[in-house]
A and B are shown apart, each in its own frame.
Chain A
Amino acid sequence: MLRLISLALALWLTVPAVAFSQTFQDILQTHRDEVLKPGRRSVGVVLDDLVASGLPQAVPFLEAWRDREIVQRNSDGLFFRVIAEGDTVTLGDLDTGAELQAAEDDLTESRPNGGVRRAIGDALVQFQLSDPDIVRRQAAVEAIARSMDASQLAPLQASIDAEPDPALKETKIRLAGMLAALFADETENRIAAIAALSGDLSVDVRAVLNRLLSTTTAVAATVPGDANVAQILQVGTDITQSEAYARLVAAELAPALVPNDDIRAALVANIADAKVGGVPVHALGTDAGRWLAYDTLAAEGLAPPRVKPQTQSDAVAAHVFYTAYIEPDAAITDAARVALRATETNVALSQAIDLGLDALSLASIYFLAAIGLAITFGVMGVINMAHGEFIMMGAYTGFVVQQFVPDYTLSIIIALPLAFAITFGAGVAMERLVIRHLYHRPLETLLATFGISIALQQLAKNIFGTQARPLTSPEWLDGALMFNDVIAISYIRIAIFVLALVFLAVILFVLKRTRLGLEVRAVTQNPGMAASMGINPDRINMLTFGLGSGIAGIAGVAIGLYAKVTSEMGADYIVQSFMTVVVGGVGNVWGTLAGASLIGFLQKGIEWLNPSNTLAAQTYMILFIILFIQFRPKGIVALKGRAAAD
């Protein structure tokens, strides 16, 4: 409403000016400072003037302004549009379109900020809604969706019939429905529009309904008859006694409490002969003493009296505390409430599903990170502390490949097998050089591999620097799969999930259906017996270790794609990976899967309970795992029989 008045005022004030001004440039010059440094709240006058001028240059100017192509020539303060940049800048005259040159030093750019650009977009709406160019029409619709102003309802409705693009028409109808719910003239129309929104769980529809249902808190002796009351607040359950009293004070229905600081100040101000109000100063070190002295002062009229607890509760009891809808019409708020309630269950369900998807995604990441470790740990009983660094090596491989192969899709296709090959090689080398000599000393393997871990981490720092490196995903993995406005999961996470499934299948296939798998299982169960059956345990160990490390490398590429590539990324995942393996049960692919799922879902569950502190969620998860191990020391899927022996 205010906007309309200001618009009318502006029109009334500026029409005569416009009538006499010759050029568009002149209008800009009357607002020179505002055009150069616009502000969201102050730019309205300029926009109104420009639009009211009715000049054809207005629309292209506004578009150029929004796109930051407007500059001012310092020498004479005139505004131009930038056409081409270079050593000298090519400018276009705003009125004639004539091209001219200028030195860069002589130009100051006008940089409208986000809020101003939104205001420009609003001003452009009326010109763009029926523009032949679909891009502009879309921009206009987006601008309306962002600002949701009453003045936009009529033009939007008028443009619907002529809209040629069916998808955009759909959007316009939907948007018009939302605007109608908010701003239609007749109550029946609004209620009908609100009813039409019922059941739609998209964020913008719920935003409209919630906007209709926005409330204010109020307090009164009795509820006024004209108030559209949302809820009567019970003191003690809905609000506390002290909150209630504070609201009374704020509404000037009760005297303010005297804060302790004021009591102190009043006492200090009234010290006479080492006494205040008859109480010696040295006795003022307790609240009781201070109150006694203060009450005497108050009785003498030297300070405002203290509000006693009894007075407070009496005052609170004498008033009603309630929240009232800002919308005065109860019929509309009722309709909105019904419409919103219809979506509530759906929204809650969708949120649960969304959380479930996030948990699934986290679980698949943990699974990828841990499965390699599970294989080596399960088959060889060797804890590889450098496993995280193999993940890191894989990620850096991806980064290096992207330096040479600029095509992101191709580079990922190259990086995945290359990362496998490199970490496979590193794993085999480590097995042959270090781990082989420590088979009967598992604790020392842990420490030796830790030594390798810190060395590799520092090497990565020395080679690639400590700065995080980008590993960019191909374009077809950008964006997210949206089921509705609540359930969404990014494609990259889906890709990681698929990758995890593929690996699960591949590993199960290798272990259960190939000769190598048979030998691996034989060595796992009884190395001595396996050796006497003609299996070479050394070779199997080496290959297993290589396989586990290779998978870590591929996991590294995947993790790098969705998060970051740093020298410390391995350390971020190593403890979680250990826990996944230990919780799941050693030496079993299904166990690792169970462990990863448990940890992923658990972590998301705890985060949901305490959304403001992710760190606390991690702490509680670890505590849970420690306790879990106490009760199932061998993990969820425990091996039985001989293989279970340490």
Chain B
Amino acid sequence: MTLKTSALALAALLGTTFTAAAECADPIKIGVLHSLSGTMAISETTLKDTMELLIENQNAAGGLLGCEIEAVVVDPASDWPLFAEKARELLTVSEVDVIFGSWTSVSRKSALPVLEELNGLMFYPVQYEGEESSKNVFYTGAAPNQQAIPATDYFLEELGVEKFALLGTDYVYPRTTNNILEAYLKDNGIAAEDIFVNYTPFGHSDWATIVADVVALGADGKQVGVISTINGDANIGFYKELAAAGISADDIPVVAFSVGEEELSGLDTSDLVGHLAAWNYFQSAESDSNEEWVAAWKAKMGEERVTNDPMEAHYIGFNMWVNAVTDAGTTDVDAVREAMYGQEFPNLTGGTAVMLPNHHLAKPVLIGEITADGQFDIISQTKEVPGDAWTDYLPESAVLKSDWQKLGCGMYNTETETCVQLTSNY
């Protein structure tokens, strides 16, 4: 029984590999490792579609190195160990040249050891907590200094917030981001008692007490602001409770790091108008390339579909990879990695993204106010900010530096001038 199934599964695997018609002797294969089922499907399916659109466009433009590009799509089903298993399959069985994938940090950490063992290459498109640098991953989403820190600066400078409520879902990204922000706020003269931190479970719905706590923070006459790393569905109950308590963005502004166009598309946003979000991209960004991209996306997926930040990350990542492969003349991982450093590509918000030796991008930071139609009014846009793998605001990380080009090390201790380790700290 088991043997038979194994044969079936193997046949299925080989099937997906060989069915696509290839003009080239050896088509270039791109692995797409995004969950198509399970809890993360809602976010990740969009990225799979993005990759397919990008590959279609590239093939229409003549492919790469004279070959067709072929997408090998697998479904790790929001099951974290499966990310490791599928990554291994992609690299050893399908023999893909590069992988675009992952959303959650835990799924990335699951795939990392496999990528490093087999010397694969992955592009990771989502904002994350930093504190990691792998030779085999390019992080095209925002590091904390490209999202959280500028948003906090905006609160401090522009809104004059003196007291902070850091509300988050209890998992790694909010925890680490809030740790960094706490240290950063203290450096900026905010006292420890003026920082309120709260963690709630995934999908939390009972927000009355927490909102009351936040309102009560205003009792000492300081301007209160909320920095929200609340994830997914839980935001709905949170914003509903805020609206019910009659709290407008003028009273207590909320800046969210995990609420984008896609998340708002299922919501009545009239309650949320004026609250903020910080990203590197909004659909409302005004540039020609963005108009083109949004039009192409809507043409493929339907008029009501929206674009969002991780999609832009894949857009930049894919195009940079294509250019790097063209420059290197091969898809060999080591050669492509060398060619990636310093790659420039215009991002969708105007300006140019640059790939840094620490495998992060330099990207502008945008702050948008939510509008009634579920889009964002961009009210602040910085110059390109270079992504920083190791934050400068936690003492243990401040001494670390990542430079794969010159130092060949992702975790270089600048104090002792030694490389702590070559693999990443998964």
A362 at the interface (CB under 8 A from B): yes
Bound CA–CA A118/B160 (angstroms): 10
**B357-378 interface mask toward A, CB cutoff 8 Å, 1 = contact, 0 = none?**
0000000000101000000011
Closest to B251 in A: A146
A501 at the interface (CB under 8 A from B): no
Query: Is the CB–CB distance between B219 and A358 below 8 Å?
Result: no
Query: Is the CB–CB distance between B203 and A614 below 8 Å?
Result: no
Collect the chain B residues with CB atoms within 8 Å of residue A354's CB: 212
Given contacts A210-B220, A466-B42, A467-B266, contact A113 B237 (CB under 8 A): no
Given contacts A114-B158, A211-B221, A614-B199, contact A564 B236 (CB under 8 A): yes
A607 at the interface (CB under 8 A from B): yes
Bound CA–CA A562/B238 (angstroms): 10
Given contacts A146-B250, A466-B39, contact A116 B209 (CB under 8 A): no
Q: Min CB distance, A85 to chain B, in Å?
A: 14
Partner of B198, one of A355, A480, A491, A614: A614
| Count of inter-chain pairs, beta carbons less than 8 A | 148
Bound CA–CA A39/B157 (angstroms): 8
Query: Is the CB–CB distance between A572 and B203 below 8 Å?
Result: yes
Collect the chain B residues with CB atoms within 8 Å of residue A172's CB: none
One of B6-14, B240-248, B322-330 contacting the partner: B240-248
Bound CA–CA A74/B265 (angstroms): 33
Query: Is the CB–CB distance between A566 and B233 below 8 Å?
Result: yes
Collect the chain A residues with CB atoms within 8 Å of residue B241's CB: 490
One of A55-63, A468-476, A505-513, A626-634 contacting the partner: A468-476
Given contacts A40-B160, A211-B220, contact A114 B208 (CB under 8 A): no
Q: Min CB distance, A124 to chain B, in Å?
A: 14
Partner of A203, one of B42, B159, B216: B216
Query: Is the CB–CB distance between B170 and A493 below 8 Å?
Result: no
Query: Is the CB–CB distance between A491 and B244 below 8 Å?
Result: yes
Of A41, A204, A563, which is in contact with the most chain B CB atoms at under 10 Å from its CB?
A: A563
Partner of A563, one of B39, B154, B236, B246: B236
Q: Which of A336-364 contact B (CB under 8 A)?
A: 351, 354-355, 358, 361-362
Closest to A619 in B: B201
Q: Which of B161-198 contact A (CB under 8 A)?
A: 170, 196-198
B105 at the interface (CB under 8 A from A): no
Collect the chain A residues with CB atoms within 8 Å of residue B39's CB: 466, 568
Given contacts A207-B221, A210-B220, A465-B42, contact A614 B379 (CB under 8 A): no
Collect the chain A residues with CB atoms within 8 Å of residue B267's CB: 468, 470
Q: Which of B252-301 contact A (CB under 8 A)?
A: 253, 265-268, 274
Collect the chain A residues with CB atoms within 8 Å of residue B212's CB: 354, 358, 486, 488
Collect the chain A residues with CB atoms within 8 Å of residue B198's CB: 611-614
Bound CA–CA A111/B377 (angstroms): 8
Collect the chain B residues with CB atoms within 8 Å of residue A469's CB: 266
Partner of A615, one of B170, B197, B265: B170
Bound CA–CA A210/B222 (angstroms): 10
Query: Is the CB–CB distance between B200 and A472 below 8 Å?
Result: no
Query: Is the CB–CB distance between A115 and B159 below 8 Å?
Result: yes
Bound CA–CA A612/B222 (angstroms): 20
Given contacts A208-B221, A466-B39, A563-B237, contact A114 B157 (CB under 8 A): no
**A100-139 interface mask toward B, CB cutoff 8 Å, 1 = contact, 0 = none?**
0000000000011111111000000000000000000000
Bound CA–CA A116/B380 (angstroms): 12
Partner of B205, one of A112, A204, A465, A572: A572
Bound CA–CA A354/B212 (angstroms): 9
Given contacts A214-B220, A493-B208, contact A467 B42 (CB under 8 A): yes
Given contacts A146-B250, A611-B213, A612-B198, contact A563 B157 (CB under 8 A): no
Bound CA–CA A572/B209 (angstroms): 19
Bound CA–CA A40/B159 (angstroms): 7
Instruction: Count residues on chain A whose CB falls below 8 Å from chain B CBs.
Output: 63
Q: Min CB distance, B46 to chain A, in Å?
A: 11
Given contacts A493-B208, A563-B237, A612-B198, contact A480 B41 (CB under 8 A): no
**B26-49 interface mask toward A, CB cutoff 8 Å, 1 = contact, 0 = none?**
000000000000010110000000
Bound CA–CA A468/B246 (angstroms): 23
**A312-349 interface mask toward B, CB cutoff 8 Å, 1 = contact, 0 = none?**
00000000000000000000000000000000000000
Query: Is the CB–CB distance between A480 and B240 below 8 Å?
Result: no
Collect the chain A residues with CB atoms within 8 Å of residue B42's CB: 465-467
Closest to A568 in B: B203
Q: Min CB distance, A25 to chain B, in Å?
A: 24
Q: Which of B329-379 contact A (CB under 8 A)?
A: 367, 369, 377-379
Bound CA–CA A214/B191 (angstroms): 12
Given contacts A358-B212, A480-B246, A564-B237, contact A470 B266 (CB under 8 A): yes
Bound CA–CA A365/B237 (angstroms): 14
Collect the chain B residues with CB atoms within 8 Å of residue A207's CB: 218-222
Partner of A39, one of B158, B196, B203, B218: B158
Q: Which of A22-51 contact B (CB under 8 A)?
A: 39-41
Collect the chain A residues with CB atoms within 8 Å of residue B377's CB: 111
Q: Which of A579-626 contact B (CB under 8 A)?
A: 604, 607-608, 611-615, 618
Query: Is the CB–CB distance between A480 and B266 below 8 Å?
Result: no
Query: Is the CB–CB distance between A114 and B203 below 8 Å?
Result: no
Given contacts A207-B221, A562-B240, contact A614 B216 (CB under 8 A): no
Given contacts A466-B41, A611-B213, contact A480 B199 (CB under 8 A): no
A479 at the interface (CB under 8 A from B): yes
Query: Is the CB–CB distance between B245 and A114 below 8 Å?
Result: no
Q: Min CB distance, A251 to chain B, in Å?
A: 16
B204 at the interface (CB under 8 A from A): yes
Collect the chain B residues with CB atoms within 8 Å of residue A563's CB: 205-206, 236-237, 240
Given contacts A468-B267, A492-B244, contact A113 B218 (CB under 8 A): no
What 10 A-B pairs are tightest by C-beta distance, nearest first?
A: A207-B221, A490-B244, A563-B205, A211-B221, A210-B220, A466-B42, A564-B236, A467-B266, A115-B158, A563-B237
* A/B interface sample: 23 pairs, CB < 8 A: A41-B157, A111-B379, A113-B369, A113-B379, A114-B159, A115-B159, A207-B218, A207-B219, A362-B206, A466-B39, A466-B41, A467-B42, A470-B268, A478-B243, A486-B212, A490-B241, A491-B244, A563-B206, A563-B237, A564-B237, A612-B196, A614-B200, A615-B170
**Given A111-B379, A207-B220, A614-B200; 11 other pairs, CB 8 A cutoff:** A40-B160, A113-B367, A113-B379, A114-B253, A148-B221, A207-B219, A468-B266, A470-B267, A486-B216, A488-B212, A615-B200
